[in-house]
Amino acid sequence: MSNLVTYSSDDSIATITINRADRLNALNEEVIVGLAQAWTQFEDSQDRVAVLHAAGDRAFSVGADVKSPPAEMWQGVPSVGVATSKPVIAAVHGWCIGGAYCIVQMCDLVVASETTIFKYPEAQLGFTGGLIASAVARIPHKFAMEFMMLGEEFDASRAQACGMVNKVVPKGTELEAAMVWAKILTNSAPLVLQTTKKFSLQTLNKSPAEAGAVSREQLLKVRNSEDGAEGGRAFAQKRTPVFKGR
């Protein structure tokens, strides 16, 4: 896994940390690939809940690294780039901008420090990946349109009022507060949590960008599978392929 994203496990809780504080946790290719690997590790592990947070005091993440943007931002987004059947809690502080908010909005629960400021400035910059449009299925429509179109800052209290976060806590306590909830979830019935999450994701409408990304992720699994490689080898060697369903 990338040094810019770490994964630790304790008491059935996975802690996934973005470690690029010197660049305000800007999302480059290494961070996004690291996040994708972390979500895969979480899904395959015995951990029951994941808590996502970021290093440093100033920012959860300022979004895509403008000097070195990731090839496919969606690959690092939980339940989009990697299917996550178990609960994910985001513990957010400081700036959370652009694509970073797209990651946070796909988490199941969000605990925000009182220092948190959400911002989506893409309309003022002339670019969007489109994944943000799923916000209209997760918060009231008018609030979502305001956030997406105007590029204005939403502080922690406004974000809570709009339904973007569950809880606002004092500076520096967001991870601790998220862990309190994580412990409740580890003591809850896993099958109930997974079924509730599965049904909820099936109920929520997906933006075209989100639906396309989910489909792309599933197709990439087929292309990159052992069977995919075996099919290519068999064709080159002019033999019948031996598929294993992997």
Q: What is the DSSP letter of 14?
A: E
Residue 217, pLDDT > 90, answer no
- How many angstroms separate the CA atoms of 169 and 146, rounded? 24
pLDDT digits (tens, 9 = 90+) for 112-123: 999 999 999 999
Residue 207, pLDDT > 90, answer no
Q: Where in the chain is the domain with CATH 3.90.226.10?
A: 5-206
Given a contact cutoff of 8 angstroms between Cβ atoms, the answer to whether 78 and 84 are in contact is yes
CATH of 207-246, one of 3.30.420.40, 2.40.50.140, 1.10.12.10, 3.40.1170.60: 1.10.12.10
- The set of residues, in sequence order, having a beta carbon less than 8 Å from that of 164 and lying 6+ positions away, is 105, 110, 118, 139, 143, 147, 154
pLDDT of 238 reads: 84
pLDDT of 242 reads: 86
Taking each continuous run of H as one helix and of E as one strand, the counts in the chain are: 9, 10
Q: Pick 230 or 233 by higher pLDDT.
A: 233
**117: which strand partners?**
95, 155
pLDDT of 5 reads: 98
Q: Where in the chain is the domain with CATH 1.10.12.10?
A: 207-246
Average of pLDDT values for 76-98? 97
- How many angstroms separate the CA atoms of 27 and 83, rounded? 20
- How many angstroms separate the CA atoms of 160 and 140, rounded? 12
pLDDT digits (tens, 9 = 90+) for 137-172: 999 999 999 999 999 999 999 999 999 999 999 999
CATH annotation of 5-206: 3.90.226.10
Candidate from 11-15, 50-54, 179-183, 205-209 with smallest mean pLDDT: 205-209
pLDDT of 121 reads: 96
Amino acid at 159: A
pLDDT of 92 reads: 98
Question: 220 pLDDT band (50/70/90 cuts)?
Answer: low
Residue 241: count of CB within 10 angstroms of its CB = 14
Measured N-to-C along each axis, helices 226-237 and 208-223 cross at an angle, to the nearest 10 degrees, of: 50
**105: which strand partners?**
none
Q: What are phi and psi of 4, to 5 degrees?
A: -85, -10
Given a contact cutoff of 8 angstroms between Cβ atoms, the answer to whether 138 and 162 are in contact is no
pLDDT digits (tens, 9 = 90+) for 51-71: 999 999 999 999 999 999 999
> In angstroms, what CA-CA distances link 9 with 19, 106, 175?
16, 21, 15
Residue 16, pLDDT > 70, answer yes
Mean residue pLDDT of the chain comes to: 93
- The set of residues, in sequence order, having a beta carbon less than 8 Å from that of 126 and lying 6+ positions away, is none
- How many angstroms separate the CA atoms of 119 and 100, rounded? 9
Q: Which is it for strands 117-119 and 109-113: parallel, antiparallel or unpaired?
A: unpaired
- How many angstroms separate the CA atoms of 106 and 71, rounded? 19
Residue 3: count of CB within 10 angstroms of its CB = 9
**168: which strand partners?**
112
